Copies of this chain bind each other. A is one copy, B any other.
Amino acid sequence: MPKKRTLPYIILGLLAQNREMNGRQITNQFQNEIGEFWKAAHSQIYPELKKMTAEGLIVKSTKADNDKEIYYSITAAGQAMLMQWIKEPLTDLPVSQDMFSLKMFFIDDKADYELKRLIEEEISLLETQLKHLQEREKLLFGGQEPKKAFGHFLILQRAIARLQSQLDWLKSLNI
């Protein structure tokens, strides 16, 4: 039994929201909110789009004036597969491959300078990301609960709350 794949579902989800996207537009999605939870390079996406087309989950088309850009749309079969995926129960929590925690884990001595250094670096990274997400929230929703894209709104709220609480915790340490 092969490993459970995720990337095809993300692509289906994007195409369910947009009706038509090219490979580059899909790739760019991983630079914002989705990038908090999944990364994929264009070199992985283009072959995946071909595979999904062959499987009948998406269809491609080109514009009359520009045959360089290839647009994809979701099919009924793709829609069905996306819904089935969302309905599958959550079986386990994610493993966040967190270098900060991993390195900390191996520092035995409270007085080790590296401990302090790691905490400062992590605070800096978290603050930058928090600012970025707060700007995204303002840009996309402006503090208002939206009619559509409600899930998107929620995960952005959640990511912000999570960053904020991590920062609070780190700053409360007396190292």
Contacts and interface: CB of A to CB of B under 8 A. Distances in A.
Given A104-B155, A149-B108, A6 B97 contact: yes
A61 interface: no
Given A114-B86, A150-B115, A158-B169, A99 B105 contact: no
A155 B90 contact: no
Copies of this chain: 2
A97 to B, nearest CB: 5
Given A115-B151, A158-B169, A82 B97 contact: no
A126 B96 contact: no
A90 B122 contact: yes
Interface string A1-38: 00000100110010011000000000000000111111
Interface of A: 6, 9-10, 13, 16-17, 33-39, 82, 85-87, 89-90, 92-110, 114-115, 118, 121-122, 125-126, 129, 148-152, 154-155, 158-159, 161-162, 165-166, 169, 173
